Chain A
Amino acid sequence: NAGVTQTPKFQVLKTGQSMTLQCAQDMNHNSMYWYRQDPGMGLRLIYYSASEGTTDKGEVPNGYNVSRLNKREFSLRLESAAPSQTSVYFCASGDRGLTETQYFGPGTRLLVL
């Protein structure tokens, strides 16, 4: 039982390049989330998926797209990376019940030059 996994762990991009961050969970959770963490700030929600086939914008969605490929996988795509997207990205999943608790992946550190 690996929980929530993310790939890659670290990536360097040049401005304008694109990439996809991958996330998978094996806990049979319905909800999945993408957050970003910047210095001096807590995590902020980028996008979420309440269930397979649905996605919605969070607090800071500009410059990102997501795909809920199936119940297990939820990817985050940067179409044209910008230095402002330098951050640590966390994927999380939760079972969306009354007592939903979110469990986080190890994070992806992204540097955009």
Chain B
Amino acid sequence: AQTVTQSQPEMSVQEAETVTLSCTYDTSESDYYLFWYKQPPSRQMILVIRQEAYKQQNATENRFSVNFQKAAKSFSLKISDSQLGDAAMYFCAYRRGYGGATNKLIFGTGTLLAVQP
């Protein structure tokens, strides 16, 4: 069974600095997708970034980028120029490639990010 591990329950960063959130996963499949979701205090789950396993190039979305290491099964999120609005719980999630009975997401336990002014 696939598992997703986030080993940092809490992180803190100064405004305008850079922070990296860690995520590792375990799977025997070669085709899959990885996601980072942000959950602010409003509890809304917001997609931050997505990575396809077959792509070697790391995904980027403005100030958010990932470091995808397929062999190491590592998928970290880097937030550059941190802003107060980045404060939230961040979840790493895994989904198998299309073709299975379900496209369910498997989530890690989350990392709570605080941004200090």
Contact = CB atoms under 8 A, between A and B. Distances in A.
A89 B97 CA distance: 25
B104 A58 contact: yes
B80 interface: no
Nearest to B37: A104
A59 B98 CA distance: 19
B101 A42 contact: no
A100 B107 contact: no
Given A88-B43, A99-B52, A107-B43, A42 B4 contact: yes
B102 to A, nearest CB: 6
Interface residues of B, number: 27
Contact of A58 (B102, B107, B109): B102
Contacts of B18: none
A97 B103 CA distance: 10
Given A42-B91, A99-B52, A48 B104 contact: yes
Interface of A: 31, 33, 35, 40-45, 48, 50, 56, 58-59, 88, 90, 92, 94, 96-104, 106-107, 109
